[in-house]
Amino acid sequence: MGRVSDAKKRLMDAILELIWSGSYGTTTIDHICEKAGVKKGSFYYFFDSKSDLAAEALEAGWKSKQEELDRIFSPMVPPLDRIRKYCGFSYKTQQEMKEKFGHVLGCPQFALGAEVSTQEDRLQKIIQEILDCKRKYLESAIRDAHATGLIKAPDPGAKARMILAYYEGLLTQARIQNDVEVLRETVGGIFALLGVKEAEAAIA
Amino acid sequence: MGRVSDAKKRLMDAILELIWSGSYGTTTIDHICEKAGVKKGSFYYFFDSKSDLAAEALEAGWKSKQEELDRIFSPMVPPLDRIRKYCGFSYKTQQEMKEKFGHVLGCPQFALGAEVSTQEDRLQKIIQEILDCKRKYLESAIRDAHATGLIKAPDPGAKARMILAYYEGLLTQARIQNDVEVLRETVGGIFALLGVKEAEAAIA
DNA sequence: ATAATAGTTGACTATTTAGTTCACTATGTT
DNA sequence: AACATAGTGAACTAAATAGTCAACTATTAT
């Protein structure tokens, strides 16, 4: 009972977009409210602070992202194809962002993590968890690829960590250089890290 | 003639440390002045704005960093040893920062670039140049390693770009997780990307 | 010694920011 | 219909922030 509203959702969408296209530090509560079309009174009705909103938005955003990842990393798909699909998906996303915002935006969690990890404990923890999830997607693909004999990776967790670092590094470079073409080499680099034989890698 | 002062230098040191240990967005001119022990009037005597100071400080900081890199990447050192030395140096630096600030800080240029690239054109350009310099150090080591037959790398520029992405990604991960141990795998990953034979890699 | 000048200071303004308050409004429930 | 309540809005405060200014001080070249 009582009134209903999607203001909370609008606020969460707004902060994510502002952080991603700009940064956490320069995103103010006033900006968020303006973008969401919500008055400050309502903001404080739903949230205690900017970091509180950011935390909730981050978690919600990740939940919906996970659905896509579950599809891409489906165990039904051959393990190396999962990685190929993931890279392709990532490239397409960055391209779309560049068209929409005029700028390559990279990985929202990684960029935010780099910015706030020394300052915002709660956000740092959430981001760590999200990145760990990402790693697990990679890890299971690597484990499957190892089991199938496609690659030699006795420690899939370690390999996944390496690949994640490379992947996130590339995305960040693409953001810094504002150039999607940086991402062209993504698959090649990952396969090199995995020690995929050139013959296998060629089956694009 | 006239008065002499190191206030300009102090301001440049202060902003670098504040950005690195925190972020660009949350670093205010007042904070910078307080840390440097300089009054705002003097700040504006030397600089037009925060981004102006940041630009100068970034360039000066890079210049001094280059001296170290010139030593590490000296052509007198065997090419793969240069990379080993670089990784070791990097690990040591991060460890020191963790002791000093209680936090792993990662790569200052990369973190700053990720934060401001969509907002601060001038800084973005400077950071791009710095990262390109870093790439060139790696590239020449890779080219030399290729020439010596240690590795097969017909396109050293591309390989260097890959390795830089991986290296910066790892440093950023170390910052986000506040854990230097993430950096333990640096050399291993780089050598995997380079396709260094295990026998060669083992010569630690 | 002193004039020219490089650098300093603190008080000032205007704006932006986070956060509060309380009367008000819309809506589901009875 | 009317009541309980989820959500709204506009005006408010206090603090932080960027930026200005003019008088002041220290140094150095002559």
| A21-67 pLDDT per residue, tens | 999 999 999 999 999 999 999 999 999 999 999 999 999 999 999 99
Can you tell me the distance from the alpha carbon of B150 to that of A7, in angstroms, rounded to the nearest whole number? 60
Q: What are the helix (H) ranges across chain B?
A: 7-21, 29-36, 40-46, 50-72, 79-101, 108-116, 121-147, 156-177, 186-194, 198-202
Indicate if CB(A41) is under 7 A from strand C: yes
| B203 — pLDDT class (breaks 50, 70, 90) | low
Predicted TM-score (pTM) of the model is: 0.95
Would you call A155 an interface residue with chain B, using a CB distance cutoff of 8 Å? no
DSSP string, B108-145: HHHHHHHHHTTT-HHHHHHHHHHHHHHHHHHHHHHHHH
| A69-90 pLDDT per residue, tens | 999 999 999 999 999 999 999 9
**Among residues of chain A, what percentage have pLDDT more than 70?**
97
Would you call B162 an interface residue with chain A, using a CB distance cutoff of 8 Å? yes
Output the pLDDT for position B12: 98
Instruction: Burial-class residue A65 by CB neighbours within 10 Å (0-12, 13-18, 19+).
Output: middle
The three-class DSSP label of residue B153 is coil
**Among residues of chain A, what percentage have pLDDT more than 90?**
93
| B92-103 pLDDT per residue, tens | 999 999 999 999
- Nucleotide nearest B31 (Cα, C1'): D17
Q: Which of residues 111-150 of B touch A (CB under 8 A)?
A: 111, 113-119, 124, 127-128, 131
Indicate if CB(B11) is under 7 A from strand C: no
> Which of A18, A127, A162, A178 best probes binding to B when mutated, by most B CB atoms within 10 angstroms?
A162
CA–CA min distance B13, chain A (Å): 19
Q: Which of B191, B197, B185, B186 is nearest to B80 (CA)?
A: B191
